[in-house]
């Protein structure tokens, strides 16, 4: 085999996709397997359990490396930071069985693995199943590939309700509970009965709650998919012809017949004839109906997906969506070909993303694991110390082992992982009350780190429903007088009127006109109505089911009875236009187009476009209006509309004019953006609208300050060559703006450099320019992104790409949009927020029921609070364990320890209740201009833990040593301190015990717990836990002051009251139970004094050092610490660069050295020029 196994041992699965994985081939070896089985038996199953937790160890020990072709076991590894391993067994499946069962459906792809497998006598293929998707081994390409045909199995998204016993076993085998089991066994061996029983009860309660929650989620998910698994559909097959069958029999390639009425789609299908209107709210979160058109008949041999490029979605009907209306064309019924079934569909993808969520916040959990390792090392030192102390004192070996193992259960808090998630759980509940729903709770902590937010414009920053402002018609190459809305007189009849009446994708659904808000406003201005019944009347005559618009009761007189919309080419984000073919009843067909004015003008005959088109367009877009271009064209009567391609229809047009719409800002937009700016969180606009409109809206919203300059970046491909050019132009402002009038007169080169040297400028660019810069000027992209504020005419894929580029600069990026065109960007961002009425959609991790960007600062506030809460809980849990650990080790010096009820009181009455209530503190209402630290292992946090550990150690050692120096102290007589008082009161002369209850107490002296050292150390350590909880409960600036968390404060007061009662009570029965002894009042007051000093010192250090931000910034400056963030480094590199940006200059790509890693630069941005870094 030589090099071959190593060469083909590794491959990538789903390369470039969200669920990308690495795959490694292994072959099971018999002797290794036998040794492992022996190991399982000898270790009583412990080795098997270890392999369950670490499947990669199982594979490495049981198997040997081999090529993927020879492998019978494969090891999968995720490509994210977590690098999670999973083990899969390779199975062989007979293809012949599938071929025989589906003789009517031959494999049509000549080079498909199955058509080649048919030539083989064995007809066997190797397959693995990963996250519900089947992959087969292709012997020709030597790789595993997704199953696309024949072997796809039944068309069901099968999510069975997981049996309770399976959930129970999975939960019980969690390392946390296994550690608890080990601890409980140890405690039983040491006679800590009550404590062990209490922990068993709490663990069982925790397990049952977790199982109940998982079971509920399983049932909810099962019900979500169940409805789509059994739908009756009509299909057309080769031999049987038309037949009705259940949807789970569907396979890719089946021809679906879509009938009238509402239908749930049970698969992904591509429309091949007719037209559909679909409700895609399950996918996008938008309940606006979407029009789907059939796949155009192309002459080229390109695959349909490549041919349609970004617009492929307008032909595809997605599984889980609802068809609400169908329209047949002249080819008869509405037909669609099944593309994907089961888990390969859009809905299957959604369900798989819920079943297999992507883990987030790797750094936090990595740091928690490192800290846990430190505590284990700490415990190992304690174990060595314990063994030495007990062995030297001649203790039995079994007792020494038990005491040593007990140190691990004390030093390592098993609840540490759970403590990190408590803040997230409470935050999720708070967000739900505020109408913000979260399907990915791991991302909540991410929200606390956001420092850049991208916003869509229309419907996000501005009102969704636009108001018509005016219509600027064009005739014979000239613009006419503007027609304002609302006007006393209606629009005059003509081509422009017809364009407004028919150029839309509106439908009548449930008695209401439904569709895009822009289309609705435009159509309502005509006072015409959509005749919903017309299609049904004509259907019997064999004509197509077309939409007819007719004059309404309030419409101006029109010379026609109505207009029939024969065909639609729906709006495309990539093409930035839509068009229809319409025909007056009794007239000739015409094409009408509306879209981005620049795009529409380019498709028109030059002689029909007014010469002042650009200046007029600039006039209105600069005022923030949304401008739509209109055009038309007469079509030949002989050619049927279905035979025309989009390119034929949308060419040689006649320009009709501009429709001007008012794009008002939402009420919350400006204050929210000001709040983000004050918190030094960058705001970026990413829109599909015109660049001038976007810049104006950005200025109105406060994204661009009035005194800041806007620089337009234009990139173009050089005609006839492979190179490209890029130009920087300062955007001229209107002369009416006073702050520019002074600069316009003295625009000398040094003056420009001076004005721009301070960084008071913003880049604006179009999607076309962005793409060219990304392709030809890669080295300039980081510089442009550092100050890029407006990105206009961006396609959905460009929005996703932009978010990813920001992330490469180490920004934590949030994206807020409407969920439709922004789906990709919402998924890619660290925190995607969809403004939608849906409770949750596949579009984004967060969904806000309120259609306002006010949810963005709310989410950031709550994210910061959750992050700080996680850190507080982490610090508290670590300190609580260390305090208890130090106390026990001190007592071990005298072969003593804490008693059963003492442990029980500290763990349950103190720590558990604090752990539950500490997270109740709400988020601080004001966003401060810096973020909380993102790492657990950061200097302030580590210093805080180390210093508080030293304070606790000092106090406990001081108490331990000083109590032994007291005149009343006796190592053998635990009643010597209170003897004189008791003698006077009880006339007892016993030196070893007292009558009555004291006799019972005396019996307990043999257990080794009751001593002056035990009482002193236990009381000091218990109240120290309360001190630590109070000191670590951070309030401002990320959470509200601690006194607002009434429950937590009441708990602390109650616990302190109980502790002080135990300190001063001197009740024989109580002291006997708690293994405490009586001490003089003066010593008790001394202990209170020690605790008061510890509280004062701890609180002072936490406030004056740990939480002193200016001090840490000074230290960073002194030691010349530079941020590791890429965007910060770029800012530092180019701070002295006076040649940036090169105004009024043009660069060519072939004359620029394109080095991505070389001279990458940036420039300081005034909106995010903070000295903060994660400490």
Residue 829 scores a pLDDT above 90: no
How many CB atoms lie under 10 A from the CB of residue 631?
31
**Paired tokens of 487:** 């006007």
142: left (phi over 0), alpha (psi -120 to 50) or beta: left
Of 456, 668, 822, 1075, the catalytic one is: 456
Chain centroid to Cα 1155, Å, comes to 32
Cβ count near 1153 (within 10 Å): 7
3-state secondary structure of 963: helix
Between 859 and 1108, the higher pLDDT residue: 859
Name which of 141-155, 715-729, 762-776 the model is least confident about.
141-155
- Among 262-266, 649-653, 1137-1141, name the one with the lowest average pLDDT: 1137-1141
- Percent of the chain at pLDDT > 90 equals 11
Residue 456 annotated as catalytic:
yes
**Given this model, what pLDDT does residue 745 score?**
38
For residue 108, pLDDT beyond 70: no
**Antiparallel, parallel or unpaired: β 1146-1148 and 846-848:** unpaired
Which pLDDT does position 979 carry in this prediction?
Answer: 59
- When mean pLDDT is compared across 308-312, 661-665, 728-732, the lowest value belongs to 308-312
- Higher pLDDT: 1175 or 800? It is 800
Question: pLDDT confidence of 828, banded at 50, 70, 90?
Answer: confident
More confident call, 796 vs 533? 796
Average pLDDT over the chain, rounded to an integer: 78
- Starting at the edge strand that comes first in sequence, how are the strands of the sheet with 290-293 ordered? 263-264, 322-327, 275-279, 290-293
Q: Is the pLDDT of residue 401 over 60?
A: yes
Exposure class string for 848-871: b at 16+ Cβ within 10 A, else e? bbebbbbbbbbbbbbbbbbbbbbb
Position with higher pLDDT, 436 vs 283: 436
Locus of tokens 């005609």: 719
**Strand 275-279 to 322-327 pairing:** antiparallel
> Could you give the CA distance from residue 547 to residue 96 in angstroms, rounded to a whole number?
49
725 — pLDDT class (breaks 50, 70, 90):
confident
Which segment, 97-106, 230-239, 733-742, is predicted with the most confidence on average?
A: 230-239
Cβ burial, residue 920 (10 Å; 0-12/13-18/19+): middle
Q: Which residue has the higher pLDDT, 828 or 109?
A: 828
Q: Which residue has the tokens 């002296």?
A: 1005
User: Does pTM surpass 0.85?
Assistant: no
Least confident among 146-150, 649-653, 774-778, 1077-1081: 146-150
Rounded to whole angstroms, the Cα distance separating 469 from 86 reads: 60
* Average pLDDT score over residue span 560-585: 83
Output the pLDDT for position 1059.
93
Mean pLDDT to the nearest integer, 913-931 = 88
Judged by phi (left if over 0) then psi (alpha if -120 to 50, else beta), residue 305 lies in alpha
Average pLDDT over residues 271-275: 84
Average pLDDT over residues 998-1011: 50
Tokens of 805: 């580029």
> Using 50, 70 and 90 to split pLDDT, how confident is the model at 770?
very high
User: What integer is the mean pLDDT of 149-170?
Assistant: 74
The arithmetic mean of pLDDT across residues 425-430, rounded, is 86
**Which of 205-209, 579-583, 1033-1037 is predicted with the least confidence, judged by mean pLDDT?**
205-209
Does residue 550 carry a pLDDT above 60? yes
pLDDT > 70: percent of the chain? 81
At 1157, is the pLDDT very low, low, confident or very high (cuts 50, 70, 90)?
A: very low
Given a cut of 50, whether residue 535 has pLDDT beyond it is: no
Q: With b meaning 16 or more CB within 10 Å and e meaning fewer, what string describes 425-455?
A: ebbbebbeeeebbbbbbbbbbbbbbbbbbbb
User: What mean pLDDT comes out for the span 935-952?
Assistant: 88
Over range 606-618, report the average pLDDT: 87
Lowest model confidence (mean pLDDT) among 237-246, 437-446, 623-632: 237-246
pLDDT at residue 384 is higher than 70: yes
pLDDT class of 856 with cuts at 50, 70, 90: very high
| pLDDT band, residue 755 (cuts 50/70/90) | very low
């Amino acid at each position: 085999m030589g090099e071959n196994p190593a060469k083909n041992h590794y491959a990538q699965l789903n390369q470039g996709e969200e669920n990308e994985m690495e795959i490694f081939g292994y072959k099971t070896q018999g002797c290794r397997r036998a040794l492992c089985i022996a190991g399982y038996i000898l270790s009583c199953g412990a080795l098997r359990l270890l392999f369950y937790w670490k499947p990669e160890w199982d594979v490495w020990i049981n198997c040997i490396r081999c090529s993927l072709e020879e492998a019978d076991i494969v090891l999968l590894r995720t490509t994210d930071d977590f690098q999670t391993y999973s083990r899969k067994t390779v199975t062989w499946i007979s293809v012949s069985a599938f071929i025989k069962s589906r003789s009517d459906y031959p494999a049509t792809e000549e080079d498909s693995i199955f058509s080649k497998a048919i030539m083989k006598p064995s007809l066997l293929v190797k397959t693995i199943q990963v996250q519900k998707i089947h992959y087969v081994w292709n012997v020709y390409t030597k790789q595993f590939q997704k199953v696309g045909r024949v072997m796809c199995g039944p068309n069901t998204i099968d999510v069975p309700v997981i049996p309770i016993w399976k959930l129970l076993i999975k939960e019980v085998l969690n390392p946390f509970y296994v550690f608890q089991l080990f601890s409980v066994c140890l405690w039983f061996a040491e006679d800590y009965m009550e404590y062990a029983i209490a922990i068993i009860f709490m663990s069982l309660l925790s397990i049952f709650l977790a199982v109940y929650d998982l079971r509920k989620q399983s049932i909810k998910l099962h019900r979500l998919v169940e409805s789509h698994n059994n739908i009756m559909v009509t299909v057309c097959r080769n031999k049987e012809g038309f037949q009705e069958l259940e949807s789970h029999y569907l396979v890719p390639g089946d021809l679906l017949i879509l009938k009238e009425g509402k239908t749930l789609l049970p698969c992904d299908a591509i429309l091949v004839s007719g037209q559909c209107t679909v409700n895609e709210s399950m996918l996008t979160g938008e309940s606006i109906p979407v029009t789907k058109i059939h796949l155009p008949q192309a002459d080229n041999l390109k695959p349909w997906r490549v041919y349609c490029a970004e617009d492929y979605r307008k032909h595809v009907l997605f599984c889980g969506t609802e068809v609400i209306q169908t329209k047949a064309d002249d080819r008869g019924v509405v037909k669609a070909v099944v593309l994907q079934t089961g888990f390969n569909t859009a809905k299957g993808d959604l369900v798989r993303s819920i079943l297999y969520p992507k883990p987030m916040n790797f750094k936090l959990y990595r740091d928690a694991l490192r800290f846990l390792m430190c505590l284990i090392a700490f415990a190992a030192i304690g174990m060595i110390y314990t063994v030495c102390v007990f062995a030297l004192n001649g203790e039995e070996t079994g007792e020494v082992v038990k005491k040593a193992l007990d140190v691990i259960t004390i030093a390592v808090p098993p609840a540490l992982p759970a403590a990190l998630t408590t803040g997230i759980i409470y935050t999720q509940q708070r967000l739900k009350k505020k109408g913000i729903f979260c399907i990915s709770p791991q991302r909540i902590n991410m929200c606390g780190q956001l420092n850049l937010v991208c916003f869509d414009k229309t419907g996000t920053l501005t009102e969704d429903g636009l108001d018509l402002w005016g219509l600027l018609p064009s005739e014979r190459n000239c613009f006419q007088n503007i027609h304002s809305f609302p006007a006393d007189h209606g629009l005059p009849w003509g081509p422009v009127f017809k364009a407004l009446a028919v150029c839309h994708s509106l439908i009548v659904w449930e008695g209401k006109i439904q569709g895009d808000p822009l289309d609705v406003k435009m159509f309502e201005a005509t006072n015409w109505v959509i005749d919903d019944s017309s299609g049904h009347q004509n259907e019997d005559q064999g004509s197509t089911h077309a939409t007819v618009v007719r004059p309404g009761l309030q419409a101006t007189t029109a010379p026609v009875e109505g207009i029939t919309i024969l065909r639609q080419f729906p709006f495309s984000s990539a093409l930035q236009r839509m068009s229809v073919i319409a025909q007056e009843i009794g007239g000739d067909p015409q094409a009408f187009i509306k879209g981005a004015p620049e795009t529409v003008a380019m498709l028109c005959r030059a002689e029909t476009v007014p010469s002042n088109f650009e200046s007029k367009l600039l006039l209105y877009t600069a005022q923030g209006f949304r401008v739509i271009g209109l055009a038309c064209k007469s079509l030949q009567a002989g050619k049927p509309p279905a035979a025309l391609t989009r390119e034929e229809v949308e060419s040689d047009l006649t320009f009709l004019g501009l429709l001007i719409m008012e794009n008002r800002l939402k009420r919350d937009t400006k204050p929210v953006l000001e709040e983000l700016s004050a918190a030094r969180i960058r705001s970026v606009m990413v829109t599909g609208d015109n660049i001038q409109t976007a810049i104006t809206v950005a200025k109105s919203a406060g994204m661009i300050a009035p005194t800041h300059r806007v620089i337009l970046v234009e990139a173009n491909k050089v005609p006839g060559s492979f190179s490209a050019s890029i130009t920087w132009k300062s955007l001229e402002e209107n002369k009416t703006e006073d702050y520019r009038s002074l600069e316009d007169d003295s625009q000398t080169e040094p003056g420009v450099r001076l004005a721009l040297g301070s960084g008071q400028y913003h880049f604006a660019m179009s999607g076309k320019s962005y793409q060219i810069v990304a392709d030809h000027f890669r080295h300039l992209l980081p510089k442009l992104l550092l100050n890029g504020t407006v990105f206009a005419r961006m396609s959905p894929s460009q929005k996703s790409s932009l978010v990813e580029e920001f992330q490469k600069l180490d920004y934590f990026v949030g994206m807020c949009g409407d969920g439709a065109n922004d789906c990709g960007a919402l998924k890619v961002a660290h925190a995607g927020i969809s403004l939608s009425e849906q409770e949750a959609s596949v579009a984004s991790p967060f969904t806000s029921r309120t259609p306002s960007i006010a949810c963005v600062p709310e989410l950031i506030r709550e994210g910061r609070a959750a992050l700080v809460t996680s850190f507080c809980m982490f610090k508290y849990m670590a300190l609580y364990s260390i305090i208890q650990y130090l106390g026990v080790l001190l007592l071990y010096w005298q072969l003593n320890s804490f008693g059963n009820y003492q442990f029980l009181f500290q763990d349950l009455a103190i720590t558990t209740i604090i752990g539950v209530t500490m997270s109740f503190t709400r988020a601080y209402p004001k966003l401060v201009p810096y973020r909380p630290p993102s790492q657990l292992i950061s200097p302030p946090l580590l210093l805080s833990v180390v210093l508080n550990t030293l304070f606790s150690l000092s106090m406990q050692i001081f108490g331990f040593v000083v109590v032994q120096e007291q005149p009343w102290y006796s190592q053998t007589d635990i009643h010597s301190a209170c003897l004189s008082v008791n003698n006077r009161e009880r006339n007892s002369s016993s030196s070893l015990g007292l009558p009555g209850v004291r006799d019972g107490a005396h019996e307990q002296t043999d257990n080794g717990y009751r001593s002056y050292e035990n009482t002193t150390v236990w009381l000091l350590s218990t109240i120290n836990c309360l001190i630590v909880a109070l000191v670590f409960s951070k309030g401002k600036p990320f959470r509200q002051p601690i006194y607002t968390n009434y429950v937590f404060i009441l708990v602390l007061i109650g616990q302190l009251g109980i502790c002080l009662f135990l300190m001063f009570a001197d009740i024989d029965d109580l002291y006997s139970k708690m293994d405490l002894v009586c001490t003089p009042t003066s010593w008790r007051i001394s202990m209170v004094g020690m605790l008061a000093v510890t509280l004062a010192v701890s609180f002072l250090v936490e406030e004056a050092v740990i939480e002193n931000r200016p001090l840490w910034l000074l230290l960073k400056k002194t030691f010349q610490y530079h941020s590791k963030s890429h965007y910060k480094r770029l800012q530092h590199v180019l701070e002295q660069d006076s040649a940036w940006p090169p105004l009024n200059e043009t660069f060519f790509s072939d004359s620029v050295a394109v080095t991505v890693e070389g001279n990458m630069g940036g420039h300081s941005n005034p909106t995010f020029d903070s000295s903060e870094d994660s400490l």
